[in-house]
Chain A
Amino acid sequence: MTMTHSETKSARLSGTRIGYRFNIVGMVGLSIILFWALVAIFAPLIIPYPVGEIADLDYFGPMSPDFWLGSDYLGRDMLSRILMGARYTVGISLAAVTIACFSGVVLGMIAAVAGGWLDTLLSRFLDALNSIPSKLFGLVVVAAVGSSIPVLILTLSVIYIPGAYRFARALAVNINAMDFITVARIRGESTLYLIRSEILPNIVGPVLADLGIRFVFIVLLLSGLSFLGLGVQPPFADWGALVRENIGGLPFGAAAVMAPSFAIASLTISVNLLIDNLPRKIRDRSE
């Protein structure tokens, strides 16, 4: 404990270290995340069979040299479908978490700096939004406006704005009480300057860690909605939708049912591992 503390301190003092030191577990997490990111980008180039092609004569085929992860309920290659599914799962979640955290953090900083009725009103409203269970919120919106990818991204981000807001506001309120903010206020700086140049640089580390955790929530919720048939719609399929499609293979123990689940688990667990093993330098302010 004291050991790591003095280590980070000396690293900070020497000032020459660029980048951060990760431990092994963090590195493993990071490399799995990078792997899925690369897969999402280059999926069309690396898939062994076209996604829609019925390649296997057998449905729910077992794992074999031709079909590494077996085939699905129509005899399509499961590996190709999972590699392509990474695009939807990772892409939609990334877009949603970016919107959610950006809006949440900006609103949170404004509320903390402005204070007064704006803060109260915003906090009350977003807290109320937060007390709708997330899956239920998704269900109601999908029932109302249908399920397309832009709608999904917006819905997912609206669901997670309150959490990001609350987190950023709590951090920003602490920073807001510091002397250098008072000095900046006396200098007559605008609110925009305060949140951009004084508060944001001081909360950016914890906010990024929080973004990772929220990304996991969004991946899980998106997969859950797709599993219920209310997320990504055919002919496209994300990992949750792949499980739903192939749920009929469950009694036979088909690889097609579990493989997409393992893909989701590998992504979410590695993000959690990475966040838990982030260098204290990034994380310490969030505790």
Chain B
Amino acid sequence: MNNRVLSLVLSRLLIALITLVIVSFAVFFATTLLPGDTASILLGQAATPEAVEGLRKAMHLDEPAIFRFLRWIVGLMQGDLGTSYANEMPVADLIGGRFVNTLQLAGVTALFSVPIALTLGITSAMLRGSLYDRIVTVLTIGVISVPEFMIATSAVLIFAVYLKWLPALSFANEVTSLADLLRIYAMPVITLTFVISAQMIRMTRAAVIETLNTPYVEMALLKGASRPRMVFRHALPNALGPIVNAVALSLSYLLGGVIIVETIFNYPGIAKLMVDAVSTRDLPLIQSCAMIFCLGYLLLITTADIIAILSNPRLR
């Protein structure tokens, strides 16, 4: 790794940090736009003006927004996420277990979708123009252009209503056997796998095709290398960077998908927590969840960019 690569990576990290500051700024101020006074909403209609005034002071609501923002950021960095308005529990406690649930869901999905998507993407690029390639392309475009909830409802219709293999929308809380575990995860994971794989297949296919179009691959073909040798020896090693980049980018689509999937299947994850917090207008909870999501998203796209930089042979 030479200096140029190092400086590119460092500047990418710096950009990510600046972006994070701007994003936290945006999240904080979007949530403070709330019309109405938080203190009087919390205390209800029967509150005396003195009580409202006291609470405003205690919550630092009488300070300028910029001070509240700084206080909030410093608290976040010290791990203090604030207290939920709705049930006065520390936000960190509310999020803790649910965060693990969401990570599990995302992890299992990635475990399934990455191998499936890579196989389909690479093979369809190899057989470009064939019937197989056309079917894969049409299916991926179809999945990408319909909303996530349609994939979820279709999965329920097929697997639960017609085939009766899996329970529909219920979510069992006690897990007693492996079969139960499979049943809980099956529907959300199937749905998410479809959504993520479609993106990943598209990007992988594009990355491999771009490499197959390079002069050195044509050279390999001309010197008489067999088709598999051409793809696996000459094209794939060079397409590896773009492919990993595509995988990281597609995984960022998990965030959008997870919000819909957790809601529709009633999965006790952090996205469901956030959607519920929006309907009760529980601001500290929304802010924390939003920051976690943005952090995850930023992490994935920054990783994707850094992989793209590291894998570019021209920079080596």
Contact = CB atoms under 8 A, between A and B. Distances in A.
B153 A243 contact: yes
A216 interface: yes
A253 B157 contact: yes
Contact of B169 (A124, A145, A250): A250
Nearest to B148: A224
A146 B35 CA distance: 9
Interface stretch (B17-25, B64-72, B96-104, B228-236): B17-25
Contact of A131 (B169, B277, B301): B301
Contacts of B156: 250
Contacts of A98: none
B313 interface: no
B275 A228 contact: yes
Given A144-B33, A228-B260, A272-B141, A265 B150 contact: yes
B200 interface: no
B142 interface: yes
Contacts of B141: 269, 272
Most A Cβ at <10 Å: residue of B149, B154, B255, B297: B149
B133 to A, nearest CB: 15
B259 interface: yes
A128 B23 contact: yes
Interface stretch (B54-62, B76-84, B214-222, B278-286): B278-286
Contact of A145 (B33, B142, B148, B150): B33
B147 interface: yes
B157 A258 contact: yes
Interface stretch (A135-143, A178-186, A198-206): A135-143
Given A224-B148, A258-B153, A140 B19 contact: no
A216 B144 CA distance: 10
A227 interface: yes
B161 A264 contact: no
A135 B259 contact: yes
A143 B18 contact: no
Nearest to B25: A128
Interface in B279-301: 279, 281, 283, 286, 290, 293-294, 297-298, 301
A135 B34 CA distance: 19
A135 B256 contact: yes
Given A145-B35, A224-B260, A265-B150, A136 B294 contact: yes
Contact of B31 (A124, A140, A224, A230): A140
A132 B296 CA distance: 10
B81 to A, nearest CB: 16
A223 to B, nearest CB: 5
A140 to B, nearest CB: 5
A141 B283 CA distance: 11
Contacts of B281: 143
A127 interface: yes
B238 interface: no
B41 interface: no
Nearest to B301: A131
Contact of A247 (B33, B145, B264, B275): B264
B169 A251 contact: yes
Which 4 residue pairs across A and B have the least CB separation, nearest first? A128-B22, A261-B150, A268-B145, A143-B278
Interface of A: 124-125, 127-129, 131-136, 139-146, 216, 220, 223-224, 227-230, 240, 243, 247, 250-253, 257-258, 261, 264-265, 268-269, 271-272
18 contacts: A132-B23, A132-B27, A135-B255, A139-B259, A139-B275, A143-B31, A143-B278, A143-B283, A144-B31, A145-B35, A227-B263, A228-B263, A230-B278, A240-B147, A243-B149, A243-B150, A264-B147, A268-B146
Given A132-B294, A228-B259, 4 more contacts: A139-B274, A144-B32, A144-B34, A224-B256
